[in-house]
Amino acid sequence: MAELIAKLKNGAAQEWVNERIGSLTYVIDYASKKTVPVHRQSVWYYFGGLTLFFFVIQIITGLLLLLYYKPTEAEAFESFVFIQKEVPFGWLMRQVHSWSANLMVLMMFIHMFSAYFMKAYRKPRELMWLTGFVLCLLTLGLSFTGYLLPWNTLAYFAVKIGIGTLDYAPGGAFIAKIAQGGDEVTGETLTRMFGLHVVLLPGLTLLVLSAHLILMQTLGTSVPIGYKEKGLVKGEEPFFPNFLMKDFIGWMIGFALLIFLCVVFPWEIGTQADPLQPAPEGIKPEWYFWAQFQYLKQVPGPIAIATMTIAMLAWAAVPFLDKKANNEERDVKFTIFGVLTLGFFLVECFIVYYEYYILHPVAH
């Protein structure tokens, strides 16, 4: 300890750290030498960082909520109300956790579609696209498993509807039984969702996220097809500190939006779930599942599941299917596929919004 204090007084903190955990100078030099392309589409680069920012907020607020939450059928709702009403700033932590989950999903979707249309999946970034696709699934899984934890009426029946869609998939009934811990959504389901939400899925997310970030640092930032050839890349700026400071500004804007939503549009507590009661009118999943929810209402279940599964696998395999992108050429078929996919989500979500919030606003 005396040695450490002496070196700190002599201004040798960096050397002290380098001797024990490796070269700190190397990390700083690497960050300062890393560059980011500058062009008119550069704004889309910030949404990956925003997704990561909201994920970090999820971890911090989730750990704080874990101090008081009790994942049992008898105590879950009571502990949820206790956090909201009795714990100092507990209401704020719950609101921040809920809203940051929604913002994280939104930023992830924007990041995914921007990467798709910029053809950021082309060689040699195929694995970056695949790890990003897996992160998308894990993010939706985290959102779905966390939705049940308040154990209120809305969460209970929304999750019940969500799990019920598995019946249309081959082997879905078996998967649903494992997820529920039986044939119905019960306290056992709550316990299993809790385990998935706080242990398994976060662990997997951190592993895949680490791989995604390592690939990002190794391969660098992609630019849209043809930009270099047409001279549309204005140059490159250092990642540290230039781009990182801009990223930081984006995080602060995102944080301000988060707090605004928490204060102006707080999530309600609701009433405790009662499996014996019928589902209230207007029950639906969260907005990021609206498109699938509406599609299942429009198309017979087995056909809907089959077509969505094929589309999802095609989306994951795009780097290996779009041969022209690997040769720095655009293939109109894949542009149309991306537009149709985005249009599907937007149109189906609008239909749900119009039906539940415009035609029948009283139910909400």
Q: What percent of the chain has pLDDT over 70?
A: 91
Specify if 14 maps to a domain: no
What are the CA-CA distances from residue 312 to residues 132, 195, 254, 305, 309 (Å)? 13, 26, 29, 10, 5
* pLDDT at residue number 303: 92
Specify if 337 maps to a domain: no
**Which has the minimum average pLDDT: 22-26, 42-46, 58-62?**
22-26
What 3 state SS string does 229-298 have? CCCCCCEEEEHHHHHHHHHHHHHHHHHHHHHHHHHHCCCCCCCECCCCCCCCCCCCCCHHHHHHHHHHHH
∠53-58-62 over CA atoms, to 5°?
155
Is the separation of the CB atoms in 127 and 215 below 8 Å? yes
The mean pLDDT of the chain is: 90
**Which has the minimum average pLDDT: 85-99, 167-181, 244-258, 311-325?**
167-181
Quote the pTM value: 0.91
Q: Where are the beta strands (DSSP E) in the chain?
A: 35-38, 235-238
Specify if 345 maps to a domain: no
Specify if 272 maps to a domain: yes
Specify if 10 maps to a domain: no
pLDDT > 60? residue 77:
yes
pLDDT > 80? residue 226:
yes
pLDDT > 90? residue 359:
no
Sign of CA dihedral 102, 56, 196, 307: positive
Cα dihedral angle (352, 357, 358, 362), rounded to 10 degrees?
140
Is the separation of the CB atoms in 254 and 49 below 8 Å? no
Specify if 328 maps to a domain: no
* pLDDT at residue number 11: 55
Q: By residue range, what is the domain housing residue 164?
A: 34-283
Q: How far apart are CA 360 and CA 354, in angstroms?
A: 8
Domain with 93 in it: what CATH number? 1.20.810.10
Query: CA neighbours within 13 Å on the CB side: how many for 59?
Result: 11
Specify if 184 maps to a domain: yes
Is the separation of the CB atoms in 46 and 246 below 8 Å? yes
Is the separation of the CB atoms in 66 and 101 below 8 Å? no
pLDDT > 70? residue 22:
no
Predicted confidence band at 29 (pLDDT cuts at 50, 70, 90)? Answer: low
**Which residues, at least 6 apart from 40, have a Cβ–Cβ distance to it below 8 Å?**
232
Q: How far apart are CA 236 and CA 159, in angstroms?
A: 47
251-286 residue pLDDT tens? 999 999 999 999 999 999 999 998 888 888 878 889
Cα dihedral angle (58, 59, 65, 68), rounded to 10 degrees?
160
Q: How far apart are CA 228 and CA 290, in angstroms?
A: 39
Q: Given the structure tokens 């985005």, which residue do they identify?
A: 342
Specify if 253 maps to a domain: yes
Number of domains in the chain: 1
Tell how many helices (H) and how many strands (E) occur in the chain.
Answer: 17, 2
**Which has the minimum average pLDDT: 223-227, 241-245, 360-364?**
360-364
